[in-house]
Structure 1
Amino acid sequence: MLAVLGVTAYRAGFERPRAVLGAQPESIGRALTWVLPNPSGLNAHVQLPDLARSYGELRRA
């Protein structure tokens, strides 16, 4: 599994301008790809419960 922190980074790095948080339809080799919110304090619109939920979804995948 590949987890990318930050949808903006994923959009730029993988040339997927419409990507959203969560599981991605593409895999890298055999690795499933997930985009998670960036935990940076500069990303203040994402609150701790949102981060916990997103990381929990990844853990259960």
Structure 2
Amino acid sequence: MGERRSREDRIAADLESIATQLRDGDATLYGYEVELESDGRVQRGGITCADGWFAFELDERRKP
């Protein structure tokens, strides 16, 4: 039986693959939207890549 990778290792590998595809022009970033708020911003979007659709949200709001 093969070596089991942790969940974090698998996600990191997937993100590295998506980043490489973006850099190489083999993936496309779509419809990110930025919501400006008094305490920061939130970015939402998605990326089409060889593995399918990757949706994301980056919450850059400051925490109290």
* TM norm. shorter chain > 0.5: no
Q: Which has the larger radius of gyration?
A: 2
Normalized against structure 2, the TM-score is what? 0.22
More helix by share: 1
TM-score when scaled to structure 1?
Answer: 0.23
More strand by percentage = 2
Flag the structure with more relative contact order, 1 or 2, with Cα contacts below 8 A and sequence separation at least 6.
Answer: 1
